[in-house]
Chains A and B, each alone.
Chain A
Amino acid sequence: MSRIHFYLRSRLEEVRKRVLYESYEAKKLPAWERVGITWLALFAFWVVVSGKFSPPHLATGAVVTFIVALITRDFLTDDIRQTGHLLSKALYIFLFLISQYLFIMAFRLLESNLRVVRNVILMDINPGIVKVKTDLHSNTGLTVLANSITLTPGTLTLDVDKKLGEAYLYVHWINVETLDQEKIGMKIKGELEEWLKKIFW
């Protein structure tokens, strides 16, 4: 008798999450904004890799990367959240968020290197494969999160399981401390997911 209420409540939560997912699905970026962001990224890459700053080189790079951005506009920016104007958003993402994220990841990588050195010397390992639920839904966001988890201390992503509206990561953890789902999520994802939620949905 009393179990029905719990069932209804969990069912309501599920429906609410699905509505959230579909609303994110509905408000994607317009096509020309996607082309713009892809073009900025590709042009920055062109400038650094070619290494020449004369006007013919820059013009050639602009035209070629614009054509490539027209073709591949869906690959990079399909999953970016829709907030604000295009220019402010591009500046915010490229100057602020990505550089901060790279800074954080550099220090996590240093920490994980030292942790592996300690594990090699002492051999105090207790490995296991755990399952982590993530709040991200997009393909690009999940890829970046899985790669970041591989570079953070003590964890390695094994597989991604994506069902309707929910995504799970299977993570090989070199020193299993707890089996509680919430604590596992806190320890493995940490602040990474909060950072990624600002860009991807």
Chain B
Amino acid sequence: MIEALFLLFGLFIMFFGTLGLLRFPDVYTRLHATAKCDTGGAISILTALAMASDFPLVVKLKFFVMALTIAMINPMVSHAIARAAYKSGIKPKATVDMYAWDNP
């Protein structure tokens, strides 16, 4: 029962993450949607799998190692994409841009 809730929550978060990827205006706001919703949705789905499957305990712990690895790697990837986009000249649709003030 609880694993179905986790699975449905992961599906919900992933769906709205994809919708945000399509609806937001520029690269940086789209990265908000993908980085957070991918991390949360994947962790939720992995938790549901660890609860639902009938593997021994050590194999279930590996799901949590995968979740921790995703949570560590995903922010780094989004940071790399955002910085590369800024360095290659894509201007953000922003009200204030202190990064452009300091790096003219």
Question: A residues within 8 Å of B by Cβ?
Answer: 45, 48-49, 51, 102, 105-106, 109-110, 112-113, 116-117, 119-121, 123, 125-131, 146-148, 150-151, 154, 156-159, 161, 170, 172, 174, 176, 179
14 new A-B contacts, CB < 8 A, other than A158-B86, A176-B95, are A45-B65, A49-B65, A51-B62, A105-B71, A109-B39, A112-B40, A116-B37, A119-B20, A120-B33, A127-B93, A129-B99, A158-B99, A161-B102, A176-B96
How many chain B residues sit at the interface, stated as a range, is 35 or more
Give min CB distance, A70 to chain B, whole Å.
24
Number of A-B contacts (CB under 8 A): 125
A109 touches B40 (CB 8 A): yes
List CB contacts (< 8 Å) of B17-37 with chain A: 17, 19-20, 23-24, 28-29, 31-33, 35-37
Interface residue from A121, A126, A150 paired with B35 (Cβ < 8 Å) = A150
Give min CB distance, B91 to chain A, whole Å.
11
Closest to A149 in B: B75
Most buried by B among A128, A131, A150, A154: A150
Given contacts A129-B97, A129-B98, whether A146 and B79 have CB atoms under 8 Å apart is yes
- Chain B interface main SS type: helix
B82 touches A156 (CB 8 A): yes
State the CA gap A125–B25 with chains docked (Å): 10
B23 touches A156 (CB 8 A): no
Which 10 pairs show the lowest CB-CB distances between chains A and B? A150-B75, A51-B58, A113-B40, A128-B96, A147-B75, A120-B20, A131-B98, A117-B16, A128-B94, A128-B95
Chain A proximity mask over B30-74: 1 for CB below 8 Å, otherwise 0: 011101110111010000000000001011011001001001100
State the CA gap A125–B26 with chains docked (Å): 12
B102 touches A131 (CB 8 A): yes
